[in-house]
Amino acid sequence: MNRQQLAEQIRKKQSYLCVGLDTDITKIPAHLLSEPNPVLTFNRAIMEATADLCVAYKPNTAFYESLGSEGWQTLEQTLAAVPQDILTIADAKRGDIGNTSAMYARAFFEQMNVDAVTVAPYMGADSVKPFLGFRDKWAIVLALTSNAGSADFQTLNLEKEQTRLYETVIQKCMLWASADELMFVVGATQAAQIAHIRSLAPDYFFLVPGVGAQGGDLEEVSRLGFNQSVGLLVNASRSILYASSGKDFAEKARAEAKRLQQQMQDCLEKYL
């Protein structure tokens, strides 16, 4: 999916919601455990309940990798069930020396056929560049993440560059790729920095995890993070997936997704 198509979906649905498919077999409703593939059944029900309210699905691959080869198969089956007009993001946080990164890129873009993959930039240019140059595909580079540990490295001052590490990540990555194939991860818990990050990267989409279970403020993120064409994908995983542990799990997931979508619509009217 390209940038224009993504922007069109956001406009049509009045939503920049990304639903995180972080499906934990120990947390899904008990009545599904007798199904042949409980995770797949759960994912399909969540997608049926939320597809008209979101523009992206983001399975975090850890939840599938932890189930071994069956988990990989479930991930493929889940991706196959995503409607065509919804962006798919493999949250895999890959990045290695060049030839290995090239294999990761082929795995996700050619085998899995996802639209986007998250990339850890720590190993530098040769680890990020192999994820670029795939038609209508995206690398989403970690910039300033939502977790407490982001302060350990990402906000350190670089004496020579006179910037913080995450700022240099953004500036360097923008030299390698345009906003048509590169996004940045910016945590919703980092709202105080988001206006500054938007000024560094005015045209780029930000994938913003951390509303819901991590307590990020959707309105603050939207007010400070919008660009002229929205430029945000805001992810919620646990708050949607586990809104109920009963038979009404899909209905409750929809209600939470609807609540977020409605708030997004209000923010679009108010701040754009």
Residue positions annotated with a catalytic role: 93
Angstrom distance (rounded) from CA 218 to CA 263 = 8
Report in angstroms how near the CB of residue 91 gets to ligand LLZGTKA7 at its nearest.
5
Q: Is 188 within 8 Å of 216 (Cβ atoms)? A: yes
Among 15, 78, 193, 237, binds ligand LLZGTKA7 (CB under 6 A): 237
Q: Quick one: angle between helices 249-271 and 38-50, nearest 10?
A: 40
Angstrom distance (rounded) from CA 221 to CA 188 = 6
Among 60, 88, 222, 261, binds ligand LLZGTKA7 (CB under 6 A): 60
Residues in the chain: 272
Contacts of 264 (CB under 8 A, 6+ apart): 14, 15, 16, 17, 218, 222, 234
Residue 95 lies near ligand LLZGTKA7 (rule: CB under 6 A) = no
Q: Is 200 within 8 Å of 175 (Cβ atoms)? A: no
Residue 190 lies near ligand LLZGTKA7 (rule: CB under 6 A) = no
Task: Kindly indicate which of the ranges 46-54, 173-181, 205-213, 256-264 contains the residues binding ligand LLZGTKA7, using the contact rule CB under 6 A.
Answer: 205-213
Task: Kindly indicate which of the ranges 1-9, 103-111, 151-159, 233-241 contains the residues binding ligand LLZGTKA7, using the contact rule CB under 6 A.
Answer: 233-241
Which of residues 29 and 210 has its CB atom nearest to ligand LLZGTKA7 in the complex? 210
Task: Output 68-73 pairs: Cβ under 8 A, ≥24 positions apart.
Answer: 70/37, 71/39
Q: Quick one: angle between helices 68-80 and 38-50, nearest 10?
A: 20
Query: Mask: binding to ligand LLZGTKA7, 209-228, rule CB under 6 A, as x and -?
Result: xx-xxx--------------
Q: Is 58 within 8 Å of 20 (Cβ atoms)? A: yes
Residue 101 lies near ligand LLZGTKA7 (rule: CB under 6 A) = no
Report in angstroms how near the CB of residue 223 gets to ligand LLZGTKA7 at its nearest.
20
Report in angstroms how near the CB of residue 161 gets to ligand LLZGTKA7 at its nearest.
22
- Please give the single-letter amino acid code of residue 231: G
Residue 259 lies near ligand LLZGTKA7 (rule: CB under 6 A) = no
Q: Name the residue whose CB lies closest to ligand LLZGTKA7.
A: 145
Report in angstroms how near the CB of residue 13 gets to ligand LLZGTKA7 at its nearest.
20
Q: Is 54 within 8 Å of 18 (Cβ atoms)? A: yes
Residues within the interface to ligand LLZGTKA7 (CB under 6 A): 20, 22, 60, 91, 145-147, 185, 187, 209-210, 212-214, 235-238
